[in-house]
């Protein structure tokens, strides 16, 4: 059913926002350029609007990805309570399809939020008569109406902060020289963003209802804090309620506010303070709002991906302190160079925006210099500085007149230490070196604009580096799956180089694509790990069964001399039968005792034959015949061959004067005798009773539990991650596997203690590559600072 409606009505509530071509990147506010604020004047309105845009995109950008879990729970709960609609299966299918588009939907939503700010800056009025009429599909109309209800509820809930924000935004539009327009992050605008995000999808009616319910809940969690921060930001930047009132009085109201559409308009150059009415500037502070003088300086100079908690802030502060002490120590060891620097004229510190511009210019260039530094030919931090200095020279910023600020030095050093640590603590092949080299400058930019990447575990850039390391570690491209992983990791790094412009959405999208393939690899690794556990368990059981058989043979033969036929039967067929019985019957002591009793009975029969007690010998052999035949059949002989072997044994016992002696049975094959060379090297040689291990270390190793990660260093010095997959209940040995589930080592606690004493095993390592690398960085800084 199609409904005729006026485009005016549709746009008034849900403006149609173009997606393509939208730039969602936002410039950061550097500490060296506080919005070019001057005393008594508000900050640059375009810079303030960009900061509001950045905050909004960061806090709201992840909301669509949080909707599907709640929708799925609601559908499952309805199915369990027998209240589900008849189309529940279609609803779940539609939800799965939406989840497959999660990354693109989140990107589209972020573009819609950012587009609202672009429209806010470039609006003109168009009269009602210019508007065309259009047709709207019935289902789309329902979608709009459902969104309208959500927008009205949110507007009522946040009416007070929205009124204050609208007044301050009115002042901002006056400074921008554009017509007054709607709030770019008001509830109606955010609902319109969701509508446009899901416009090209086909959710069912039930999914649509649940989506809006979850959307309202998720917005309610973030809008209060977001609106409060934006109101404070506008007030501190000089755009308050009083100034908004004066701006509104000066605004030309001769037009009719029917609807709006984005048009180009002349903008003030970035960095130039806006023209202000002196009277408005004098009244720039509303009662209770705080001073507007230098208010822009109170804005966050270094935007972060997420609100850093006090604990993380303290961790960052400690990290910076260690870094400064480490750098001062390095400078003191280079006294001549430092003395020469002291006599040089003072140089201006580069602003963060300038360094970001240089890094963005150099980002697409070949990363050969960084690849050589990661290979060990030079310090990566010095290479980054030289590269950025050369780029600054190309932009007209002479290194003789400028220098890096402490913030920029910290970012460069932390990224350099991070990448160096990754290559020291992970088995990364030569092919991965260039892949990581491409990421150096993008991560320097991330560190300059969002230092929470070094402490926040859920940071998108951090998660992407973890995924790339997981794909590359120990990957020699020996199988199609490994080659596909390397290719996908390389594509992710190239995407970051091509698209990253200070918007974390690029990292999120690259991580989502790579993690989808890694999820398959992890499932494949779990299956490989299970096979390794079963194979190792089989070896352990076989070894214990062989030990049991060897012990029973030694005890059965004892000191009594026997004929060669009996000794051969006991050493071969009977011992093999004992092994098979122990493996098959397990803890069935009755069956085991029957098999062990056969060996003792044969030694007794041999003694009767030697004493020439023929009648007793014949009776005893007839009694043992079924057990002997079963033993021979268990050795793999068919009935004919078994009877032939029994006849040979009887014939030997029928000769009383046959020679008898004490046999020396050879031990069975070692546990790994039948393994290939590559498999045998996984088992550590030597017994646990004779190793000179540290008992305290051995006790620590005995506490290792399945799932715990270690780092192993092989004889070539390569370090790789290993997980405790299984602990043998028979021998207490530990099975260690790599990230792909392949067995890398089987060793006892004592043997692991020996390796730990030699520095080849590290216990207590972090689960993810980024966490482990940062732990190594802190240890390196602690050690360097402690040696000063």
Q: Which residues, other chains included, contact 178 with Cβ-Cβ below 8 Å and sequence gap of 6+?
A: 120, 121, 122, 123, 265
Any idea which of 67-81, 126-140, 248-262, 728-742 has the lowest mean pLDDT?
A: 248-262
Any idea which of 340-344, 587-591, 724-728 has the lowest mean pLDDT?
A: 340-344
User: According to the model, what pLDDT value does residue 284 have?
Assistant: 35
**Model pTM?**
0.52
Among 432, 409, 291, residue whose Cα is nearest residue 355: 409
Mean pLDDT of 381-402: 89
In degrees rounded to 5, what are phi and psi of residue 672?
Answer: -115, 20
Radius of gyration over alpha carbons of the chain, in Å?
A: 38
Six-digit token pair at 235? 């007030």
Six-digit token pair at 240? 């308050």
In this predicted model, which residue has the larger pLDDT, 523 or 138? Answer: 523
Mean pLDDT of 407-426: 90
The one-character DSSP state at 572 is I
How far apart are alpha carbons 723 and 470 in whole angstroms? Answer: 14
158, pLDDT greater than 80: yes
246, pLDDT greater than 60: no
In this predicted model, which residue has the larger pLDDT, 673 or 72? Answer: 72
Neighbours of 492 (CB within 10 A): 26
Q: DSSP characters for 417-462? A: HHHHHHHHHS-B-HHHHHHHHHTHHHHHHHHHH-GGGGT-TT-HHH
Indicate the burial class of 628 (C-beta count within 10 angstroms; 0-12, 13-18, 19 or more).
Answer: buried
Q: How confident is the model at residue 682 (pLDDT cuts 50, 70, 90)?
A: very low
Among 27, 24, 23, residue whose Cα is nearest residue 448: 27
Mean pLDDT of 106-135: 66
Any idea which of 73-82, 265-274, 322-331, 593-602 has the lowest mean pLDDT?
A: 265-274
User: According to the model, what pLDDT value does residue 441 have?
Assistant: 95
> Check: CATH 2.30.30.140 for 674-771?
yes
494, pLDDT greater than 70: yes
User: According to the model, what pLDDT value does residue 497 have?
Assistant: 92
Q: DSSP characters for 323-378? A: HHHHHHHHHHTTHHHHHHHHTSPP-EEPPHHHHHHHHHHHTTS--HHHHHIIIIIS
662, pLDDT greater than 90: no
The answer to whether the CB of 736 falls within 8 A of the CB of 710 is yes
In this predicted model, which residue has the larger pLDDT, 562 or 34? Answer: 562
In degrees rounded to 5, what are phi and psi of residue 468?
Answer: -65, -40
Mean pLDDT of 130-136: 41
Q: How confident is the model at residue 333 (pLDDT cuts 50, 70, 90)?
A: low
Neighbours of 394 (CB within 10 A): 11
552, pLDDT greater than 70: yes
Mean pLDDT of 590-616: 83
Indicate the burial class of 101 (C-beta count within 10 angstroms; 0-12, 13-18, 19 or more).
Answer: middle
How far apart are alpha carbons 679 and 307 in whole angstroms? Answer: 50
User: According to the model, what pLDDT value does residue 308 have?
Assistant: 58
In degrees rounded to 5, what are phi and psi of residue 188?
Answer: -65, -40
2, pLDDT greater than 80: no
517-544 in b/e form (b: 16+ CB < 10 A) is bbeebeeebeebbeebbeebeebbebbb
Q: Where are the alpha helices (DSSP H) in 611-727?
A: 614-634, 639-653, 677-680, 695-702
User: According to the model, what pLDDT value does residue 8 have?
Assistant: 32
The answer to whether the CB of 55 falls within 8 A of the CB of 230 is yes
492, pLDDT greater than 90: yes
Q: DSSP characters for 253-297? A: --S--SEEEE-----PPTTPPPP--HHHHHT---TTS---TTGGG
Q: How confident is the model at residue 479 (pLDDT cuts 50, 70, 90)?
A: confident
User: According to the model, what pLDDT value does residue 768 have?
Assistant: 83
Mean pLDDT of 12-20: 36
30-64 in b/e form (b: 16+ CB < 10 A) is bbbbbbebeeebbbbbbbbbbbbbbbbbbbbbbbb
In degrees rounded to 5, what are phi and psi of residue 466?
Answer: -60, -45
Q: Are strands 761-763 and 709-713 parallel, antiparallel or unpaired?
A: antiparallel
Q: How confident is the model at residue 398 (pLDDT cuts 50, 70, 90)?
A: confident
Between CA 686 and CA 690, with CA 687 as vertex, the angle to 5 degrees is: 100
285, pLDDT greater than 50: no
Mean pLDDT of 575-600: 83
In this predicted model, which residue has the larger pLDDT, 189 or 345? Answer: 189
Any idea which of 192-196, 269-273, 488-492 has the lowest mean pLDDT?
A: 269-273
Mean pLDDT of 389-396: 87
The answer to whether the CB of 51 falls within 8 A of the CB of 57 is no
Q: How confident is the model at residue 788 (pLDDT cuts 50, 70, 90)?
A: low
The answer to whether the CB of 43 falls within 8 A of the CB of 296 is yes
Give, rounded to a whole angstrom, the gap between the first and last alpha carbons of the chain. Answer: 79
495-528 pLDDT per residue, tens: 999 989 878 889 998 999 899 888 888 888 888 8
Q: How confident is the model at residue 252 (pLDDT cuts 50, 70, 90)?
A: very low
> Strand, coil or helix: what is 712?
strand
The answer to whether the CB of 122 falls within 8 A of the CB of 265 is yes
Beta bridge mates, 473: 428
Percent of the chain with pLDDT over 90: 11
- How many CA atoms does the CB half-sphere of 109 hold within 13 Å? 25
Q: How confident is the model at residue 144 (pLDDT cuts 50, 70, 90)?
A: low
Query: Across all residues in the chain, what is the average pLDDT?
Result: 75
How far apart are alpha carbons 415 and 401 in whole angstroms? Answer: 25
User: According to the model, what pLDDT value does residue 84 have?
Assistant: 59
Neighbours of 25 (CB within 10 A): 17
Percent of the chain with pLDDT over 70: 75
How far apart are alpha carbons 499 and 23 in whole angstroms? Answer: 11
Q: How confident is the model at residue 30 (pLDDT cuts 50, 70, 90)?
A: very low
Q: How confident is the model at residue 298 (pLDDT cuts 50, 70, 90)?
A: very low
User: According to the model, what pLDDT value does residue 415 have?
Assistant: 94
751, pLDDT greater than 50: yes
H or E element at residue 136: strand 133-137
User: According to the model, what pLDDT value does residue 299 have?
Assistant: 39
User: According to the model, what pLDDT value does residue 331 have?
Assistant: 66
Mean pLDDT of 439-453: 93
How far apart are alpha carbons 187 and 443 in whole angstroms? Answer: 35
Instruction: Tell me how long the chain is.
Output: 788
How far apart are alpha carbons 704 and 709 in whole angstroms? Answer: 9
User: According to the model, what pLDDT value does residue 411 have?
Assistant: 93
Quote the distance between the C-alpha of residue 461 and its chain's center: 9
In this predicted model, which residue has the larger pLDDT, 277 or 403? Answer: 403
27, pLDDT greater than 70: no
User: According to the model, what pLDDT value does residue 22 have?
Assistant: 37
H or E element at residue 724: strand 719-727
Any idea which of 447-451, 575-579, 670-674 has the lowest mean pLDDT?
A: 670-674
In this predicted model, which residue has the larger pLDDT, 291 or 525? Answer: 525
User: According to the model, what pLDDT value does residue 445 have?
Assistant: 94
358-379 pLDDT per residue, tens: 999 999 898 889 998 888 766 8
H or E element at residue 723: strand 719-727
How far apart are alpha carbons 224 and 222 in whole angstroms? Answer: 6
Q: How confident is the model at residue 440 (pLDDT cuts 50, 70, 90)?
A: very high
How far apart are alpha carbons 526 and 718 in whole angstroms? Answer: 24
Region(s) of the chain under CATH 2.30.30.140? 674-771
Among 259, 262, 110, 118, residue whose Cα is nearest residue 190: 110
Q: Are strands 348-349 and 259-262 parallel, antiparallel or unpaired?
A: unpaired
Beta bridge mates, 110: none
User: According to the model, what pLDDT value does residue 143 have?
Assistant: 60
User: According to the model, what pLDDT value does residue 502 have?
Assistant: 78
User: According to the model, what pLDDT value does residue 98 have?
Assistant: 85
How far apart are alpha carbons 98 and 197 in whole angstroms? Answer: 11
């Amino acid at each position: 059913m199609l409904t005729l409606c006026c485009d005016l009505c549709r746009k008034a509530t849900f403006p149609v926002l173009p997606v393509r071509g939208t730039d969602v990147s936002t410039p950061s506010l550097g500490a060296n350029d506080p919005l070019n604020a001057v005393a008594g004047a508000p900050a640059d309105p375009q810079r303030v609007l960009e900061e509001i845009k950045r905050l909004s995109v960061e806090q709201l950008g992840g909301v669509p990805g949080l909707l599907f879990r709640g929708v799925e729970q609601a559908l499952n709960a309805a199915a369990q309570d027998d209240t589900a609609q008849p189309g529940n299966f279609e609803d779940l299918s539609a939800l799965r399809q939406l989840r497959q588009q999660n990354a693109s939907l989140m990107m589209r939503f972020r573009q819609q939020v950012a587009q609202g700010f672009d429209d806010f800056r470039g609006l003109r009025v168009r009269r009602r008569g210019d508007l065309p009429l259009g047709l709207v599909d019935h289902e789309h109309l329902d979608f709009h109406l459902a969104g309208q209800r959500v927008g009205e509820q949110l507007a009522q809930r946040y009416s007070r902060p929205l009124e204050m924000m609208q007044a301050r935004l009115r002042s901002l539009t006056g400074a921008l020289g554009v017509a007054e327009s709607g709030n770019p992050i008001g509830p109606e605008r955010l609902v319109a963003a969701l509508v446009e995000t899901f416009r090209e999808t086909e959710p069912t009616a039930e999914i649509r209802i649940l989506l809006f319910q979850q959307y309202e809940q998720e917005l309610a969690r973030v809008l209060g804090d977001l609106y409060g921060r934006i109101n404070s930001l506008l007030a501190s930047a000089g755009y308050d309620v009083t100034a908004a009132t004066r701006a509104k009085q000066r605004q030309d109201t001769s037009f009719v506010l029917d609807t709006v559409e984005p048009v180009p308009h002349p903008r003030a150059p970035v960095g130039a303070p806006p023209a202000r009415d002196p009277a408005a500037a004098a009244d720039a502070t509303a009662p209770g709002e705080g001073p507007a003088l230098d208010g822009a300086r109170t804005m966050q100079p270094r935007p972060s991906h997420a609100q850093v908690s006090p604990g993380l802030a303290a961790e960052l502060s400690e990290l910076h302190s260690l870094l400064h002490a480490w750098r001062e120590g390095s400078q003191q060891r280079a006294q001549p160079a430092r003395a020469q620097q002291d006599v040089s004229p003072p140089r201006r510190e580069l602003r963060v925006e300038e360094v970001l511009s240089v890094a963005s210019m150099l980002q697409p260039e070949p990363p050969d210099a960084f690849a050589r530094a990661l290979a060990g030919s030079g310090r990566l931090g010095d290479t980054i500085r030289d590269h950025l200095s050369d780029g600054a020279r190309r932009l007209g910023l002479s290194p003789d007149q400028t220098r890096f600020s402490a913030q920029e030095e910290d970012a460069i050093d932390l990224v350099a230490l991070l990448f160096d640590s990754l290559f020291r603590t992970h088995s990364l092949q030569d092919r991965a070196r260039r892949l990581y080299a491409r990421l150096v400058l993008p991560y320097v930019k991330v560190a300059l604009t969002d230092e929470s990447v070094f402490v926040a575990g859920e940071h998108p850039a951090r998660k992407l580096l973890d995924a790339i390391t997981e794909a590359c570690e120990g990957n020699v491209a020996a199988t199609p799956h490994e080659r596909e992983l390397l290719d996908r990791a390389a594509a992710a790094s190239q995407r970051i180089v091509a698209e990253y412009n200070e918007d974390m959405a690029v990292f999120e999208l690259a991580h989502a694509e790579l993690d989808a393939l890694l999820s398959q690899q992890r499932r494949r690794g779990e299956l490989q790990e299970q096979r390794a556990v079963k194979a190792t368990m089989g070896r352990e059981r076989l070894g214990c069964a062989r030990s049991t058989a060897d012990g029973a043979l030694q005890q059965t033969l004892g000191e009594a001399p026997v004929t060669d036929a009996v000794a051969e039967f006991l050493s071969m067929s009977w011992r093999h039968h004992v092994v098979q019985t122990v493996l098959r019957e397990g803890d069935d002591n009755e069956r085991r005792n029957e098999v062990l009793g056969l060996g003792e009975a044969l030694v007794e029969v041999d003694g009767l034959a030697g004493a020439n007690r023929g009648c007793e010998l014949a009776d005893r052999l007839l009694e043992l015949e079924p057990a002997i035949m079963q033993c021979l059949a268990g050795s793999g002989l068919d009935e004919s061959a078994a009877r032939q072997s029994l006849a040979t044994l009887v014939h030997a016992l029928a000769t009383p004067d046959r020679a008898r002696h004490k046999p020396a049975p050879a031990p069975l094959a070692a546990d790994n005798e039948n393994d290939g060379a590559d498999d045998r090297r996984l088992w550590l040689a030597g017994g646990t009773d004779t190793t000179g291990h540290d008992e305290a270390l051995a006790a620590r190793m005995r506490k290792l539990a399945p799932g715990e990660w270690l780092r192993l260093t092989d004889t070539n010095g390569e370090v790789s991650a290993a997980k405790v997959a299984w602990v043998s209940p028979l021998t207490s040995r530990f099975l260690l596997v790599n990230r792909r589930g392949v067995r890398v080592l089987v060793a006892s606690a004592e043997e692991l203690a020996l390796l730990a004493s030699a520095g080849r095993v590290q216990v207590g390592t972090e689960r993810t590559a980024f966490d482990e690398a940062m732990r190594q960085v802190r240890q390196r800084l602690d050690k360097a600072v402690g040696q000063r």
